[in-house]
Amino acid sequence: MIAKLKIKRKTGYKIYEAVCSENSTVAGLLDIINLEESDPVEWECSCRQNMCGSCAMLINKRPSLACSAFVRNTGTDITLEPLSKFPLIKDLKVDRSIIHRLFEKMKVYIDENTIPNFDDTERQYLSASCLQCGCCMEVCPNYTGEDLFGGAMLMNGIFKTISQENSKKHLKELSGIYAKTQFGICTKALSCAEVCPVKLPQASTFSRLNAISLKNLL
Amino acid sequence: MKILIIGCGLAGLSAAITAAKASNSVTVISPFPPERSQSVLAAGGINAALNTKGENDSFLQHCEDTMKAGCFIADEKAVLNLTKNAPEIISDLEHYGTVFSRDENGFPDMRYFGGQKKKRTVFSKAGIGKQLVSGLSGELRRYCCEGKINLITNCKFVKCIITNGVYRGVIAENTADGNLSYMPSDALIVACGGPGGLFGKTTGSSTSDGFAAASLFVSGVKMANLEMVQFHPTAIETAQKRMLISEAARGEGGRLFTIKDGKRWYFMEDWYGKNGNLMPRDIVSQCIYKVCVLMKSGINGQKFVGLDLTHLGEDVVHNRLKEITDTCMLYLGIDPAKDYIPVYPAVHYFMGGIYVDRCHRASIPGIYAAGECSCMYHGANRLGGNSTLSAIYGGKTAVINANADFENLEKNRISKSDSNAEKMAHEEIEALTKLTEASVSDKRSESPSWLIQDIQIAMNLYLGIIRTPESLNEGMRILSEMYLRKPVFRKCHVSDALGAINMQQLGKAFFESALARRESRGAHMRSDYPDTDDEHYKKTSVSSYKDGQIEVHFEEIGRLFCDSEA
């Protein structure tokens, strides 16, 4: 069968065709297109197996990873656009360095050596599995990129740190910034859980995080 | 001391943290943040003889297993340092918040892994890489917040500036706008990952393009043991890459077979007995090659054999081997509890790379290398669980030694002072920009990816699991002819254009090294020299590049580039 791809490029939408099967992925189709294309479509990719978050883009308007978006789900009419909430670099490639900056501004790091906390190990493992791909930020009704609110991606990072930090001082500081910049802003629309490529249990992580951070503020 | 680090995978992260602790001025450049690096793909674990399982394990035993797997061409003193320091690295990682799976006593849990006699592989379920990167990047962030580390993403290494035989700085490309700039430093730590880009579809990341290593090689940095390329025996073929099916599948009882005369033939068990499926990686890969290529007995005459897990039952396959089930269901539409998995070996790891001594010094003063891009620790074959360890330990050791060498480097720099380095860098930048000036309408103009693809075809066809003199010479011939083609590039990234040119030379060096080692050892299997020849080749193969010529010779193992050792 033939897939018809409509790709948003610097100069506007361009239509491509590529031979595909039900099991073809959008990443595989982009490779085929770029082999022939004299001005290759720019897109980010690294692991090509749903583990690194590089290839996040809008696939038929839904934020997804190109390496795990299959023709059997997308159908053969496929529209590709860059994520819209990050500055465009070229074609499907965007600059997601705001993710690193948000982590820095929120001081999401461990100040004093961690002592393993066995109650939350499972959830810490999951939070550390966040790909930082930006799909959740793209669909979040509250993420605008204009303030410190970073959506599910940032909240997973904060959860891991708050549940591991040993320094009382840094815990209080972290919990304080968290309460001010994330806690009250997140409206629990939970579209983040719907689009997450690694299916993180967002709702229960937020509620656990809210509970721990409130306790730290008392 | 001003330290510049290329790459932010495990080796780069570890180097940056060590340098910040030593109060160096640290800059890390990488096209992407740590979360996109190949390190996140590591599945198995990280080896350390913690000896918490009552098995009387020790770092000496860990060293012995590593040396044996590497067929005794790794630097034993270096390996001993590695295994001795492994427990401390695990403890550092715990402090940074790395989440390990725990045993009933609260210690990091450990599992058996191929080629090791003791339970020594610390793991985080089936996703060690992601957890290690999360822990280390958190620690990196702390120093970034304190202003001690400058992490520059969207920035790619292009070329280093060396004058009078001394390293001065690098030319880097802003991958967003394409601008080139010169960044001087006292020392350079190369942590750019393995050159997977030479082969294209590997089990690794497409960002491990090999351009940095190839550029350094052409600038005069020597390479070692390039012929040692590890093939993982069981990978599945998908349209976009080869994906690893972990050794755990065979560990749980998976059986390899093909179909002969209409019946299943369990060739590994037939050739090596009951535990044949669990032979070391190099041997299993060579056997699958033999079945599919030499005997032309792959399933349906195709180039794959079956990995059967169906007899293990749905519970084992869907739970204990969950990641494998997920990958097969998602990418092949196969449920391994019901159907066999079609597998064939794939390029997985480069034991060889930038020639460094056990202090991680490269052959040019001021340059250090660590992680998969360097030749350290694994000799002719790598044990599972040693790559993560060696990347972290290597990055740390490189920086410690760079600091110890600082005075010497300073002296060297002053005695061979060169005020022209900066001028030279700017001339280079001008010349490099011209590389990509051909217009699309110029009929001769090429895209770098076309060239790279030709190189990949040659590497895959002629530098395979079993190497014949004919195949190696043919590979050499193709790459040499390609070099004569003097390509003209259309508008593209300078790093890609230069990469395409330099990769031909690096690829040739792989063939030259494979031709020069006239024996079979570990991952290097020669049809015309099937035996191991310790007398002539229990040595390091060293490739160097000068004025368009590649030269390969053998050196005694354990050579130091400078007498001191930190």
In the predicted structure, residue B438 carries a pLDDT above the cut 80 = no
Pair A124, A59 in one domain: no
- From B120, B168, B242, B281, active-site residue: B281
Using the beta-carbon criterion (under 8 Å), do A160 and B139 form an inter-chain contact? no
Contact B106 A118 (CB under 8 A): yes
- Return the pLDDT at B250: 87
Predicted confidence at residue B201, as pLDDT, reads 86
Of the residues A10, A72, A95, A114, the best mutation for testing chain B's interface (the one with the most B CB atoms within 10 Å of its CB) is A114
Query: Token pair of A125, please?
Result: 């493992």
pLDDT category at B439 given cuts 50, 70, 90 is: low
Are A142 and A213 contained in the same domain? yes
A100 in contact with B, Cβ within 8 Å: yes
Q: What is the mean pLDDT of residues B287-299?
A: 95
DSSP B240: S
- Residue B260 Cα, gap to closest chain A Cα (Å): 29
Interval B96-106: pLDDT, tens? 999 999 999 99
Domain end point (choices A94, A125, A156): A94
The reply to whether B51 touches chain A by the CB within 8 Å rule is: no
Strand partners, B306: B257, B342
Q: Does B348 contact chain A (CB < 8 Å)? A: no
Angle at B333 between CA B328 and CA B336, to 5 degrees: 50
Measure the CA–CA gap between A180 and A76, rounded to whole angstroms: 45
**B413 catalytic, yes or no?**
no
Q: Are A154 and A206 within one domain?
A: yes
pLDDT of residue B64: 97
Size of interface A-B (CB pairs under 8 A): 138
Six-digit token pair at B556? 């005694």
Whether B306 contacts B299, CB under 8 Å:
yes
Let me know whether A14 and A71 are in one domain: yes
B469 C-beta neighbours (distance < 10 Å), count: 14
Residues of A in contact with B449 (CB under 8 A): 34-35, 40
Check if A118 contacts B (Cβ < 8 Å): yes
Over chain B, what is the mean pLDDT?
94
Cβ burial B216-231 (10 Å sphere, 16+ → b, else e): bbbbbbbbbbbbbbbb
pTM to 2 decimals? 0.96
Q: Which residue has the higher pLDDT, B486 or B64?
A: B64
Same domain? A82 vs A63: yes
Contact B331 A125 (CB under 8 A): no
B118 membership: H or E segment, kind and range? none
pLDDT at position A36 is 83
Range of the domain at A136: 98-217
Is the pLDDT at A153 greater than 80? The verdict is yes
Output B57 or B447, whichever has higher pLDDT.
Answer: B57
Domain identity same for A212 and A124: yes
Confidence of residue B319 (pLDDT cuts 50, 70, 90): confident
Between CA A164 and CA A171 the distance in angstroms is 9
Based on the fold, state whether residues A39 and A27 are members of the same structural domain. yes
- CATH code assigned at A56: 3.10.20.30
Tell me what pLDDT residue B440 has: 62
| Cβ-defined contact of B449 to A124 (cutoff 8 Å) | no
Task: From chain B, pick out residues whose CB is under 8 angstroms from the CB of A34.
Answer: 449
A121/B154 CB distance under 8 A: no
Which ipTM value was assigned to this complex? 0.97
Q: Calculate helix-pair angle for B10-21, B128-145, nearest 10 degrees.
A: 30
> What is the arithmetic mean of pLDDT over B78-97?
97
Contacts from B142-149 at CB under 8 Å and sequence distance 24+? B142/A109, B142/A110, B142/A111, B143/B16, B143/B17, B143/B20, B143/B26, B144/A100, B144/A104, B145/A104, B145/A107, B145/A109, B148/B20, B148/B23, B148/B26, B149/B16, B149/B17, B149/B19, B149/B20, B149/B26, B149/B27, B149/B28
pLDDT in tens, B253-274: 899 999 999 999 999 999 999 8
Could you report the per-residue pLDDT of A160-210, keeping only the tens digit for each?
Answer: 999 999 999 999 999 999 999 999 899 999 999 999 999 999 999 999 999
Q: What is the distance between the alpha carbons of residues B454 and B459, in angstroms, rounded to a whole number?
A: 9
Beta strands in B175-291 (DSSP E): 180-184, 187-190, 223-224, 229-237, 242-244, 255-260, 263-265
The answer to whether residue B457 neighbours chain A at the CB level (below 8 Å) is no
Asked if residue A187 and residue A103 are part of one domain, the reply reads yes
pLDDT of the residue at B488: 85
Exposure of B74 in the CB half-sphere (CA atoms within 13 A): 30
Domain boundaries, chain B: 1-228+351-566, 232-346
Instruction: Indicate whether B501 pLDDT > 90.
Output: yes
Reported confidence tier of residue A81, pLDDT bands at 50, 70, 90: very high
Does residue A204 share a domain with residue A154?
yes
Cβ pair B198, B210 in contact under 8 A: yes
Distance separating alpha carbons of residues A13 and B155, to the nearest angstrom: 28
Please list, in sequence order, all residues whose beta carbon lies within 8 angstroms of the beta carbon of residue B374, skipping any fewer than 6 positions away: B190, B353, B354, B356, B360, B394
Spatial CA neighbour of B349 closest among B481, B206, B196:
B196
**Residue ranges of B 279-338 with Cβ closer than 8 A to chain A:** 327, 330-333
Q: Which residues does chain B have within 8 Å of residue A46's beta carbon, measured at their own beta carbons?
A: 32, 36-38, 205-207
Contact A198, A131 (CB under 8 A): yes
Which CATH code is given to the segment(s) B232-346? 3.90.700.10
Q: What is the average pLDDT value for chain A, to the nearest integer?
A: 94
- The predicted pLDDT at position B442 comes to 75
Please tell me whether residues A198 and A110 are part of one structural domain. yes
Query: Does residue B21 sit at the A interface (CB-CB below 8 Å)?
Result: no
Considering the domain B1-228+351-566 in this protein, what is its CATH number? 3.50.50.60
Q: Do A54 and A114 fall within a single domain?
A: no
pLDDT tens for B518-562 read 999 999 999 999 999 999 999 999 999 999 899 999 999 999 998
